[in-house]
Structure 1
Amino acid sequence: MSTSTLPNPGLGTFRLKGETLKRVIHDALELGFRHIDTAQMYDNELDVGTVIGESEVPREEIFVTTKVWHDRLEPASLKASVEESLNKLGTDYVDLLLIHWPSPNDAVAMADYLTALREVQQAGQARHIGVSNFTIAQVDRALEILGPDTLLTNQVEVHPFLQNRAVVEHCQARGLIVTGYMPLAVGKVLEDETLKAIAEAHDVTPAQVVLAWTRSRGVVTIPSSTRREHLAANLAANELTLSDDELEAITRLDRDERIADPDFAPDWD
């Protein structure tokens, strides 16, 4: 599927709540963002929905993603979770509904929760469906269950220090868009000397360099920021093109440094 389906970059909302979140989404929409990423677990869907409802940007022009947490994967609970999300978001549908994490130790059979996810889509409550934090083997199982061309994306951690190449390339080969979260490695990219040197050469920021590098890999990204100037810079990174030598220098930064690794995570590739 084409990355044009998913506006890039999107706005990540993890850890953002209340008035700060409302201000950030308002600024983002005003600047031109059209992709808002949230989740039931973030406990901010109500505020996300409030801002979208008040915005002058029509709902149909905003791509809204939410996710079902791993303790809600039993089919009836999954469907109830979606109803709760839609009520909080104040919308009849989301543009993308993700399984936030695969069921730990397969406590719920993948066929059960993916079938329920597909049924939610067929009921019109989600335009697209996808997964998050799935390994190569889990992506392949998911496609065996649902069939090809059913999943829009696998959302996984991607940044210069965890480039996740095997997963990214496998998903893309199977027709899934990869959405990369934590693209700035919780700010660590801002201190890296290689990234700072490339940024200086282009008169941009290290964050913009990273977003341009991510885009060059065909990966959609969802950086988070609370400052309007950083939001604007994240959008402006779409105009930045890096040289082959610069891209290769960033490739060499990979050190398998995973940030999101909870105890219920799958066995990573």
Structure 2
Amino acid sequence: MQSLIGTGVALVTPFKNDFSVDVEALKRIVNFQIENGIDYLVVLGTTGEPATLTSEEKEVVIETVITTNNGRLPLVLGVGGNNTHQVVEELKTRDLTAFAAVLSVSPYYNKPTQEGIYQHFKAIAEASPLPIILYNVPGRTASNMLPSTVIRLANDFKNIVAIKEAAGDIVQALTIIQNKPKDFLVISGDDMVTLPMVLAGGAGVISVIGEGFPKQFSTMVRLGLERKVDEAYQLHYQLAAIIDMIFEQGNPAGIKEVFKALGLADNNVRLPLVAVNEDLANRIKKFVDKIVI
């Protein structure tokens, strides 16, 4: 899965002021990624607000990204949930021909045991026609997929090819990197620790900040993969402040404020999410103006 090495971005779903999907803004954002060095695009990840999209709106987002991308970059589709049967049915019935892999989040809200998490992904692996990227994000799911469970899944199912690791625990990430099968990819799901993970043997990132600053962030990851440590850390520290800012009042409210400052899309998010406050919006705009100028 060489196509998953480097910088992927979790695309936002831009909304108009009436909160309908802004197709033209989504096209601009996709082209912005492609023109500035991003390696692959993730559709309907958490950042895309799929929890508040209708099934019809999800189809609009998927088709818009496929058409705009026009085969230029590999695409990954978010297909996950806490109803195992429903996820399996989607994988069996959805047309996935445009996608290189699926990203599937560890089940949330139910709080399964490690065995429950294993059995969930076993069912998905047996149903999926595409390679699977596991997604561990305990801050959202209320349960942590332990390294032992990840390694067990990686060894037992050849189509489980990677994990997006977003536990915010560098020691946990290192444990997976140390014990994983040779070709299994450990992908950062935390922008702030992306470079340390890459330098430790990680394969790159599925990023939020990367879609706001695709040239700088993808260059940082590329330099890290090339072991050009000093140059990579220069870019890391250049972006560190804005990484903190975009998550300060929740994702994707922060990154949507970046897109507003860049003139690519409005900053609208759907309830129960709300836009960032005026203070943070001003700080984000000031940072964007400094970087862009």
> What TM-score, normalized to structure 1?
0.60
Alignment partner for residue 4 of structure 2, among 3, 6, 24? Answer: 6
Residue 106 (structure 1) shift: 2.8
CA distance in 1, matches of 2:163, 2:190: 14
Residue deviations 1:35-69, cap 9 Å, x none?
112346632563243122133444xx413242311
Match status 1:165 vs 2:171: yes
CA distance in 1, matches of 2:104, 2:172: 21
Alignment partner for residue 125 of structure 2, among 118, 141, 147? Answer: 118
Contact 1:66/1:94, CA 8 A, preserved across alignment: no
Aligned partner of 2:150 in structure 1 is: 139
Percent identity reads 12
Aligned partner of 1:190 in structure 2 is: none
Kindly tell me: are residues 115 and 138 of structure 1, through their superposed partners in 2, closer, same or farther at Cα, counting changes over 3 Å? closer
What is the RMSD of the two structures over their aligned residues, measured on CA atoms?
A: 3.9
Residue 30 (structure 1) shift: 2.6
Residue deviations 1:103-154, cap 9 Å, x none?
6343894454333322333xxx31x12322121232244357x35x442112
Alignment partner for residue 97 of structure 2, among 62, 74, 92? Answer: 92
Alignment partner for residue 49 of structure 1, among 60, 63, 66? Answer: 63
Aligned partner of 1:199 in structure 2 is: none
CA distance in 1, matches of 2:59, 2:37: 20
Kindly tell me: are residues 167 and 216 of structure 1, through their superposed partners in 2, closer, same or farther at Cα, counting changes over 3 Å? closer
Alignment partner for residue 78 of structure 1, among 87, 108, 131? Answer: 87
Residue 221 (structure 1) shift: 0.8
Question: What number of residue pairs does the alignment pair up?
Answer: 206
> What TM-score, normalized to structure 2?
0.55
Contact 1:22/1:47, CA 8 A, preserved across alignment: no
Aligned partner of 1:233 in structure 2 is: 216
Contact 2:43/2:77, CA 8 A, preserved across alignment: yes
CA distance in 1, matches of 2:13, 2:171: 27
Unpaired runs of at least 5, structure 1: 185-209, 251-258, 261-269
CA distance in 1, matches of 2:151, 2:70: 41
Alignment of 1:22-37 (within 5 A): 22-37=27-42
Residue 9 of structure 1 aligns with an amino acid whose one-letter code is T
Unpaired runs of at least 5, structure 2: 16-20, 51-57, 137-144, 238-247, 251-293
